[in-house]
Structure 1
Amino acid sequence: MAFEPIIHLMRGIQNRLNGSSLRLNGNVQDPKQIAFLRQLQKEMRQEFVLDIPLNELNVVVFDIETTGFYPNKGDEIISIGAVKVIDGKIAEDQAFYSLIQSNGEISKEIQLLTGITNEQIKDAPPLSEVLIRFFQYVQDLPLVAHHANHEKNFLQHASWLLYKLPLKHRLIDTSFLYRIADPQLNIVKLEDFCEYHQIPIENRHHALSDAKLTAKLWCIYIPKVQGLGCHTLRELYEQLALIK
């Protein structure tokens, strides 16, 4: 019959709409994954962490590598690495790392900087899958990153694009610690901070390696800021407000 192809087409569309997942920008969205994120955000107690002593505050220190600086202009996350700091110690046996599939080509400049090639990410998992695994790893722990605006912008963009959810994890910038403990230092780059503190630098611009370097700096600076009277995040934020 003449209408049969149209009926089959409409049924196919309806089946896809009613299926257990949908696809967005090459990423498969699973309602169970979105439900997990919604429940996680609902159970998060961000205010609670403000008054935990900093040396007892468990965190996830992470880093991302990207194809550029502007997620709203199409730049993408191509790897993410993280390590937990539990009871003041780096839990290297609980590290997280993944390459991420890109929808475009990685420039030669970024390939040289990160060591990540187009061939390597061709069969890597999509961002939607990696981010879910990352948040399962993080759970409700605060996030820490070196000069965190870059990471924050990309995670906020991805969370909204993929799941229509805001990023609700507390994200702590390591520069908060430096500004209080070493305000005289005119240092910005991660490698320069590491050299200043005689931390050996390995595999710079590898997301997991950079996360571990940042975690080492975190562990150095927590006792420093506590020695200056900032014993909790709340006190740290209050001190920062005075020096802005």
Structure 2
Amino acid sequence: MSLLSYLRELLEQRQPHPLLVENRRRFAQFDQNKPLTDYSFVVLDTELTGLSYKDEIISIGAVKISNMQLELGNVFHTLVRPLNLKHNQATFIHQITPDQLRAARPIRDVLPEFVEFCGDALLIGHFLEIDMGYLNRATKKVLGGTLANPTIDTLRLVKAYKETSYVCDYGYCDQSLPCNLNEIAEEFKLPRFKAHSALEDALQCAYLFLFLAKKLNNGQVQTLRQLHNVGQPLLLRQN
């Protein structure tokens, strides 16, 4: 066995950080049947050095929703210093420079604070699979495990909303409709925020989530389970 393989095996075997032990305990018996107003939500976004496996998180932004209302005074936003501080193509998108990142804290210092911020909230994001992939890879490396918080992807909710709305109105759903967060916000006439800023993208996603939660199923979505079910593919809902 190589030294690298041995170190990876040791990492996988180590006990999770107490924060993750508590995180798992909170969701060991999770009830989806309560009203949406009974849950807390954290809407998050990350900025990355790129989208390959070697790339890293360089910014995390998150806002909280309680009682289905946005808590504008309760946000999480920080830059994260990556191992690789070189310019790359992603720099032109998010406009975060290596000079800005040199003064930032590394991911090992940021993650415990972010896990505490998330607490017992459900995690929401747009195309959340990407963000959670990088976050869970980091938490596994730094804290010894992955987050247990249930997740909601607004992209999936948008598709469900368009399926039901457009099929009812026009008899079909145009699958070419935009899936980009900012294009959707413009289409739905939501408040607009700066793109490619982790905090402002999180705010944009939060407004989108609140809009969809009220509009889905003609406003009849009251519980988390109903929200989950309405997000299923239309064909499955008909069975």
Q: Is 1:121 equivalent to 2:121 in the alignment? A: no
Residue equivalent to 2:76: 96
Identical aligned residues as a percent: 27
Secondary structure of 1:168's match? coil
Q: CA deviation at 1:179?
A: 2.3
- The answer to whether the 8 Å contact 2:40/2:120 transfers is no
Secondary structure of 1:63's match? strand
Alignment of 1:30-45 (within 5 A): 34-45=17-28
Secondary structure of 2:195's match? coil
Question: Which 5+ residue runs of structure 1 have no aligned equivalent?
Answer: 1-23, 25-30
Secondary structure of 1:64's match? strand
Secondary structure of 1:150's match? helix
Q: 1:117 to 1:159 in 2, by over 3 A?
A: same
Aligned residues: 212
Secondary structure of 2:60's match? strand
Q: CA deviation at 1:78?
A: 0.2
Q: CA deviation at 1:80?
A: 0.2
* Residue identity opposite 2:149 in structure 1: H
Q: Is 1:77 equivalent to 2:57 in the alignment? A: yes
Secondary structure of 2:199's match? helix
* Residue identity opposite 1:243 in structure 2: L
Q: 1:205 to 1:35 in 2, by over 3 A?
A: same
Residue equivalent to 1:231: 222
Please say which structure displays the higher CA radius of gyration.
1
Partners of 1:103 and 1:233 lie apart in 2 by 39
Residue equivalent to 2:45: 63
Q: 1:36 to 1:167 in 2, by over 3 A?
A: closer
2:185 pairs with one of 179, 186, 194: 194
Partners of 2:229 and 2:64 lie apart in 1 by 25
Partners of 1:227 and 1:177 lie apart in 2 by 13
Question: Which 5+ residue runs of structure 2 have no aligned equivalent?
Answer: 1-6, 8-13, 164-172
Runs of 4+ aligned structure 1 residues displaced above 4 Å come to none
Residue equivalent to 2:117: 137
1:190-209 deviations in Å (ceiling 9; x for gaps)? 01011112234332100000
- The answer to whether the 8 Å contact 2:43/2:63 transfers is yes
Q: TM-score, normalised by structure 2?
A: 0.80
Q: CA deviation at 1:232?
A: 2.3
* Residue identity opposite 1:176 in structure 2: R
Alignment of 1:137-176 (within 5 A): 137-176=117-156
